[in-house]
């Protein structure tokens, strides 16, 4: 069974930093590209970052470019999102989401990040 | 990228059919046969129900179908059931490993 389990969310002040993690199991992690997708409270889904299976290809949405960094450790079956210079508008549930092709086929349960003073 | 345009809400009675539209541009929906649809119940993670415009993942009932014409994709749910009540999001590949989602549509089963 494919499982993606996010962790690392929490409450922090504007300008702060946070590192999210996603632990994968039930599939060959090193063979799949992975994304981060977020959802602000009561709002829609927003794709924010993509990393290929070998980390050779990485892309970001304009809303997080220059502030967030995606990375992965295939030996640990883990995905990460380093978030710096956080803003109130970054408040959201952050989902780790596996690429099945040019689409997401599995989602984690999400981790909540709240940025507030 | 701008979000794809979906109706805020749709509704239907049990047994009826409903269609949710998703309008983009030639740079996303119209440019690729890579539209997917997700069902999200309150407090839960999204679930894939359609991918590559019209393909259904294993386990998704054939009541769910997808199509696309030019810059508009559609999700049709036939034989509505109470458990279909949820939010539905479309998503399109937008080139160079980027994706764009729709704003979401709340489906109410009357």
Q: Hey, how many other C-beta atoms are within 10 angstroms of the C-beta on A26?
A: 11
Check residue B63 and report its DSSP letter. Answer: T
- Cα A11 versus chain centre, distance: 17
The pLDDT of residue A51 is: 98
Establish if A101 touches chain B: CB-CB under 8 angstroms.
yes
Contacts of B34 in chain A (CB under 8 A): 101-103
Mean pLDDT for all residues in chain A: 97
Q: Can you tell me whether residue B106 is helix, strand or coil? A: strand
Cβ proximity of B28 and B1 under 8 Å: yes
Are the C-beta atoms of B73 and B64 separated by less than 8 Å?
no
Contact B89 A45 (CB under 8 A): yes
A65-85: pLDDT as tens digits: 999 999 999 999 999 999 999
Chain B positions in Cβ-Cβ contact with residue A52 (cut-off 8 Å): 97
- Tens digit of pLDDT for each residue in B28-38? 999 999 999 99
Whether the predicted pLDDT of B1 surpasses 80: no
C-beta atoms of B45 and A110 within 8 A: yes
- Containing H/E element for A96? strand A92-99
> Helix or strand or coil: residue B6?
coil
Q: Does B91 touch chain A (CB under 8 A)?
A: yes
Q: Region A1-24: what's the mean pLDDT? A: 97
Collapsing DSSP to helix, strand or coil, A28 comes out as coil
pLDDT of residue B110: 93
- Per-residue confidence (pLDDT) for residue A20, from 0 to 100: 98
* Reported confidence tier of residue B88, pLDDT bands at 50, 70, 90: very high
Q: What integer pLDDT is reported at residue B2 of this predicted model?
A: 84
Alpha-carbon span B75 to B32, nearest angstrom = 17
Residue B55: closest C-alpha in chain A = A103
Tens digits of residue pLDDT in B61-80: 999 999 999 999 999 999 99
* Average pLDDT of the residues in B41-59: 97
Assigned token pair, B92:
């399109």
Could you tell me the CA-to-CA distances from A65 to A34, A80, A84, A93 in Å, in that order? Answer: 17, 15, 11, 18
Question: CA A49, A37, B10 angle in degrees (round to 5)?
Answer: 135
What is the mean pLDDT of the segment spanning A86-102? Answer: 96
Condensed to tens digits (0 to 9), the pLDDT of residues A36-60 reads 999 999 999 999 999 999 999 999 9
From residue B73, alpha-carbon distances to B5, B23, B24, B52 in Å are: 10, 6, 8, 11
Mutation choice for B interface testing from A102, A109, A111 by most B CBs within 10 A: A102
Please state, in angstroms and rounded to a whole number, the distance separating the CA atoms of residues A43 and B103: 8
- Cβ separation A45–B91 shorter than 8 A: yes
Average pLDDT, chain B: 96
For A100, the closest chain B residue by CA position comes to: B51
pLDDT at A25 over 80: yes
Tell me the pairing of strands A10-12 and A111-115. Answer: parallel
């Amino acid at each position: 069974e494919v499982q993606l389990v996010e962790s690392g969310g929490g409450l922090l002040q504007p300008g702060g930093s946070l590192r999210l993690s996603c632990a994968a199991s039930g599939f060959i992690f090193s063979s799949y590209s992975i994304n981060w997708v977020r959802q602000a409270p009561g709002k829609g889904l927003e794709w924010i970052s993509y990393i290929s299976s070998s980390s050779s290809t990485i892309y970001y949405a304009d809303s997080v470019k220059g502030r967030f960094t995606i990375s992965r450790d295939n030996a640990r079956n883990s995905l990460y999102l380093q978030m710096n210079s956080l803003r109130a508008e970054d408040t959201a549930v952050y989902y780790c989401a596996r690429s099945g092709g040019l689409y997401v086929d599995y989602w984690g349960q999400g981790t909540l990040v709240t940025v507030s003073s | 990228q701008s979000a794809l345009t979906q109706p805020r809400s749709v509704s239907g009675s049990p047994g009826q059919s409903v269609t949710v539209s998703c309008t983009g541009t030639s740079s996303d929906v119209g440019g690729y046969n890579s539209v997917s649809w997700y069902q999200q119940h309150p407090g839960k993670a999204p679930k894939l129900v359609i991918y590559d415009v019209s393909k259904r993942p294993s386990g998704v009932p054939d009541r769910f179908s997808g199509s696309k014409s030019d810059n508009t994709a559609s999700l049709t749910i036939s034989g509505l059931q109470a458990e279909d009540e949820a939010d539905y999001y479309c998503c399109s590949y937008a080139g160079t490993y980027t994706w764009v989602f729709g704003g979401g549509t709340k489906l109410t089963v009357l």
